[in-house]
Amino acid sequence: MHPAYKLMIIAWVAVAIWVGIVIMINKKVHPRALFALFMVELWERFSYYGMRTILILYLTSELVKGGFGYDDGKAYGIYGAYGALVYLTPILGGWFADKMMGFRKAILWGALLMAAGQFTLFLNNEVTFYIGLALLVIGNGFFKPNISSMIGKFYPEGDPRRDGAFTIFYMGINIGAFLTPLTCGAIGEIEGWKWGFFAAGVGMMLGYFIFLIAQARGWFENYGLRPEEEMKPVVKGVKNSWLPYVFSLLMVPIAWFLINQNDIVDILLAILAVVILGFLIYQSFGYETVQKHRIWVVVILLLFTTVFWTFFELAGSAMNIFTERNVNKNLLGMNFTTTFFQSVNPLFIMIFAPIFSWMWIKLGKSGKEPAAPYKFGTGLVLLGLGFLVMTLGKGYAVAGLVPAMFLIFLYLLHTLGELTLSPVGLSLVTKLAPVKIVAFLMGIWFLSSSIAHQAGKHIAKLTTVSEAKIMEEQAFKENIADPYLLSQLETEGFRGQLESSPVEKALVSDSFLQQLNENSQDRRYAKKTIQIEELKAEADAITQPDLRQKMLEDSKRSFLVYADDLGNQDELISALNANQMAEATLTGSVLSSLRGQSLMKGLSVFQNLGFIAVGCGLLLFLLGPIITRWMHGIK
């Protein structure tokens, strides 16, 4: 069995035990419906994060590895537009649920669309890829706002259990997010990306069936069956109950087009944000003073939440690529994959969510619970500190690689910030919103995440590095001790190879070796291949021939060296010694210089993000008294 699968099994067993403990502790405090919806959301998030974990790596992966081979900028554009639309469509999905469907039908329809999207991605070609993303976008619109709104129905206004319930629910979200890098991520990296998408689709179907079972057993009582306020027929001769399904089919080509031409989404989101927020403020004047002020609070906190998610959601794009290229993934003597680190944040959520749930209930009963603006301000400060801690890793970087502990500490601070802001925000909307527009306001709340993903695209592009451009910089040239090698790296022949393969492969290609040795007057160059002892041992233990052969190939490393230093080919060497050997080769000097420049660029961007986030948090503390007054007793 592959070591990644062993880790996956351990994680699943540990999570099963943990979930059992949480349910046992809380089953007398909360209704059964919470735990059913908890499990449904767990599997939906498993599906969503399963796809998100591998999306950016899939898009940038070489064609021979099953990816599309897109450059970073194009991949960030697709990722950002997909994420923006995923969190934009809940506005429409919430409206359909409020006016035509009811929560339950919206949740079930959304689940089916998302499962179809994952299975479409499994087909693994560019046409079906965009169709799959479109189905996921539309399905999420029906699912996401309505399952959160449905939970709020089981807790009347003023119920001290409400924040605790949403925190437990939020833990379900992150259990799914924790398991998926270790499951879909591992399957995708080992068996092929498309199988990661397939696993995500299976997870979504499990969530669908759990909802049906809970509904059949009457756990949801009478909540979510019908809209709060049904509309008159919108289209003459067509039942309102049909319109959501017709709308879904019409939206597929539109979502496909917007993801493909993602720069258009920038303009659409800017216009939509101004129109929706303007309309919401205008509508607020139709309510009495208390409700009017509460709507204003939602709008203000929405702006700060957008800043938080814009920076936080870089985890799936820029941070994912940064981890791939600039983080030393050797931790406690083990080499971890890039997707593994996507499980760190949700793991911390699982650990700390019950503590935060208990803390909010305890503080609420004692009258010491801080108001929402102070919780939000704390979340932003912690987010900023996470980025600033990451920049400290520059002093400990070796060959352009930051120790993994700095990345883990960043995720820890981001997690604590997330727990003070996100579940509280979901609960706050259900408490502040007028009854007739709860789902609609919940959809608007998710607008912050929509804008965040699209804005995050532009921030992620600031961290993008072109290997060819870095090699033109003086700082890179100063780190290459062999002037002849440097001159050959600047030739059109080598630069042409960089368009289709990374530097590491281009350096040991037959054509470049021939070029080096044909023009060299002094020294001869060669390719040295070694095999990692630990990886070979793992491969030898695999019984499946195809997987074993793939792992044996992955256990080999090739470097550019002087012919005099060639030594034994295919020699077996430990991972630690292999890393030390790699740094001493010509390949090592080139890659070290590249990573060093890439690292400096990435950390510079992260530092600026840290200062901005901390500044926003402190501003929210200053505005706290005014915002709290407008909440009229709600915390």
DSSP string for 559-618: EEEEGGG---TTEEE-HHHHHHHHHHSHHHHHHHHHHHHHHHHHHHHHHHHHHHHHHHHH
* In the predicted structure, residue 14 carries a pLDDT above the cut 70: yes
Most confidently predicted of 102-111, 143-152, 290-299, 581-590: 102-111
Q: What CA–CA distance (Å, rounded) separates 219 from 78?
A: 40
pLDDT top residue among 286 and 117: 117
Q: What CA–CA distance (Å, rounded) separates 138 from 115?
A: 11
Segment (H or E) for 102: none
Per-residue confidence (pLDDT) for residue 63, from 0 to 100? 59
Most confidently predicted of 167-176, 471-480, 519-528: 519-528
- Average pLDDT value for residue range 96-101: 80
CB atoms within 10 A of CB 622: 10
- Average pLDDT value for residue range 402-429: 87
- Average pLDDT value for residue range 526-537: 82
Per residue in 584-606, pLDDT (tens digit) is 788 888 888 877 777 888 888 99
* In the predicted structure, residue 285 carries a pLDDT above the cut 70: yes
**Nearest-CA neighbor of 114 among 48, 187, 178?**
48
Per-residue confidence (pLDDT) for residue 615, from 0 to 100? 96
* In the predicted structure, residue 508 carries a pLDDT above the cut 70: yes
Q: Which two tokens stand for residue 362?
A: 């305890």
Per residue in 239-259, pLDDT (tens digit) is 777 788 888 888 889 999 998
- Residues whose CB falls within 8 Å of the CB of residue 580, separated by 6 or more in sequence, listed in order: none
Per-residue confidence (pLDDT) for residue 70, from 0 to 100? 78
CB atoms within 10 A of CB 611: 12
Per residue in 61-87, pLDDT (tens digit) is 765 566 777 777 788 888 888 888 887
φ, ψ of residue 528 to 5 degrees: the values are: -105, 130
Most confidently predicted of 3-7, 109-113, 289-293, 550-554: 109-113
User: What is the pTM assigned to this prediction?
Assistant: 0.76
Per-residue confidence (pLDDT) for residue 406, from 0 to 100? 93
- Average pLDDT value for residue range 409-433: 84
User: Per-residue confidence at 547, pLDDT binned at 50, 70, 90?
Assistant: low
Q: Which two tokens stand for residue 539?
A: 């491969």
Percent of the chain with pLDDT over 70: 94
User: Per-residue confidence at 311, pLDDT binned at 50, 70, 90?
Assistant: very high
Per-residue confidence (pLDDT) for residue 159, from 0 to 100? 74
Per-residue confidence (pLDDT) for residue 234, from 0 to 100? 66
Asked if residue 423 lies in contact with residue 151, where contact means CB atoms within 8 angstroms, the answer is no
- Average pLDDT value for residue range 395-415: 89
- Average pLDDT value for residue range 532-556: 76
Asked if residue 311 lies in contact with residue 614, where contact means CB atoms within 8 angstroms, the answer is no
Segment (H or E) for 286: none
Most confidently predicted of 31-45, 283-297, 378-392: 378-392
* In the predicted structure, residue 567 carries a pLDDT above the cut 70: no
φ, ψ of residue 312 to 5 degrees: the values are: -65, -40
* In the predicted structure, residue 569 carries a pLDDT above the cut 70: no
Per residue in 444-462, pLDDT (tens digit) is 777 777 788 888 888 888 8
* In the predicted structure, residue 361 carries a pLDDT above the cut 80: no
Asked if residue 189 lies in contact with residue 341, where contact means CB atoms within 8 angstroms, the answer is no
* In the predicted structure, residue 566 carries a pLDDT above the cut 90: no
Per-residue confidence (pLDDT) for residue 138, from 0 to 100? 92
φ, ψ of residue 499 to 5 degrees: the values are: -70, -20
- Average pLDDT value for residue range 337-344: 84
Strand partners, 327: 402
Q: What CA–CA distance (Å, rounded) separates 122 from 547?
A: 19
